[in-house]
Amino acid sequence: MKSEKSALVLGVGPEQGLGAALARRFAAEGLNVFIAGRTVDRLDKVADSIQKAHGKVTPIVADATKEQNVIDLFKVVKSEAEVLSVAACTVDSNIRAPLLDMDLETFTSLWKQNCLAGFLFGREAVKLMEMQQQGTLFFTGATASLRAKPPFTGFAAAKAGLRAIAQGMAREFSPSGIHVVHVIIDGVIEGDRARQQFPDYIAAKGSQGLLQLDAIADTYWAIHRQHPSAWTHELDLRPFQEPFSQSL
C-alpha cells in the first residue's frame, strides 16, 4: 500500500549530519521518509534512530553522481509514495585544493558531487512533482555558492553551478506548484564530519559559533510549510557570531 505523504533525502551519511537531521525532522512530522546514500551501515544507523522514534523510513543505497542510480531511486519512491511532499539534496564534498595543485580528476569529482548530483536529483524530482502539481525541492548550498575563496575554488565553481540550477528550476517550475529552494549554509555545521575534519576550528568557534543540525532542519520544515503566495526561493543561514560573507 502506498504511503499518503513522503519525503526523500539524498546524501544521508553520519547520524550527526544534515541529511540525517532532515530525515528525522520530516519523519517526526509524520512523513514516510526515504533516505539515500552510498553507505549501507550509515543508512541503517539513521533508519534505526528514526524507527526507534516511531517514524517511517526506507533506506536505499544510491550514488548521487550516477544517473541510473538516481533514476532507480525515484522509481522506488514513485512506486511506494502516493505524494512526494519534500525532496532534499544534501550531497556535499569539499577538499582543500589550491588551483595549481588541482588535477582534472579532483575538479571533476567536486563538480560531480556538488553540481551534477543536484541536476540529476532535481530533474527526477520535478518529473514526479509535476504530475502531482505540488512539492518542495531543496538544494543545500554553501558560502562558496556566492564567492570563491582559495584553496576551495573547485568547490566554489561546483556550488555556484548548483545555485544556478536551483534558480533556473525555481523560475521554470514554480508555475507548476513546485517550490524550489536553495539554502546557503554560511558557516560550519556542528556534526560528525566537521568534528573529524576540522577539530581545532570546532573548538575555537565553540557551540555558539556553529550551525546546529536541528535548528537547520526546523528552518527547512518552516520553508516547506510556506503559503505559495509568499515563497522563499533562497536564503542563507549562519550562526549569530559568524561574519557575513563578502558578497552580501
Instruction: Give average pLDDT by consecutive 10-residue segment, the chain, 248 residues.
Output: 84 96 98 97 98 97 98 97 96 88 95 97 98 97 94 95 98 97 93 70 76 97 98 95 62
Contact between 45 and 15 (Cβ < 8 Å): yes
- Check: CB of residue 217 under 8 Å from CB of residue 25: yes
Domains and CATH numbers, the chain: 3-237 (3.40.50.720)
**Alpha-carbon span 102 to 218, nearest angstrom:** 37
The pLDDT of residue 205 = 75
| Cα distance between residue 30 and residue 14, in whole Å | 22
Q: Which of 163, 119, 120 is nearest to 141 (CA)?
A: 163
Residue 110's CB is within 10 A of a number of other CB atoms, namely: 23
Contact 146, 123 (CB under 8 A): no
